[in-house]
């Protein structure tokens, strides 16, 4: 596109969307968990209908423990950072989705709720970050 004086307008590089940043953080979290020996069972598990919940990653430990993982991406630690962004309401939605997921299984294995917090280039894994 030309400016009024005939010069070409400089193109700005496209910034990744929030969803793309979140997907990249999930990819990074998944890779990290797999290198720690966890096996992916399902990604982005959603309950049907409105008002339900979503689990970013459902993983299995080598001892059979089912791990429901919430991945949170923040540019920095302002406003409490990634971990602080998981409110009580968000926790309840994750627990609701986990219960829905467990209904599909014949037996309920040991479970826990972990959080992967990604802030800038830093990745932290919080095991048993909250309870059901």
Please give the structure tokens belonging to residue 88. Answer: 């009580």
68 touches 58 (CB < 8 A): yes
Residue 20 confidence (pLDDT): 77
Q: Which residue has the tokens 């997921």?
A: 101
Three-state SS at 90? helix
pLDDT in tens, the chain (132 residues): 455 555 556 666 677 777 777 788 899 999 999 999 999 999 999 998 777 789 999 999 999 999 999 999 876 556 566 777 888 999 999 999 999 999 999 999 999 999 999 888 889 999 999 998
Domains of the chain: 18-130 (3.40.1350.10)
Predicted structure pTM score: 0.83
């Amino acid at each position: 596109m030309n400016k009024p004086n005939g010069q070409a307008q400089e193109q700005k590089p496209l910034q990744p969307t929030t969803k793309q940043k979140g997907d990249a953080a999930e990819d990074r979290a998944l890779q990290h968990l797999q290198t720690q020996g966890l096996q992916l069972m399902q990604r982005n598990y959603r309950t049907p209908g409105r008002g339900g919940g979503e689990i970013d990653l459902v993983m299995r430990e080598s001892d059979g423990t089912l791990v429901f993982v919430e991945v949170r991406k923040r540019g920095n630690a302002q406003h409490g950072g990634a971990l602080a962004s998981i409110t009580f309401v968000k926790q309840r939605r994750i627990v609701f989705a986990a219960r829905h997921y467990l209904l599909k299984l014949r037996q309920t294995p040991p479970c826990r709720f972990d959080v992967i917090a990604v802030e800038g280039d830093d990745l932290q894994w919080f095991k048993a970050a909250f309870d059901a």
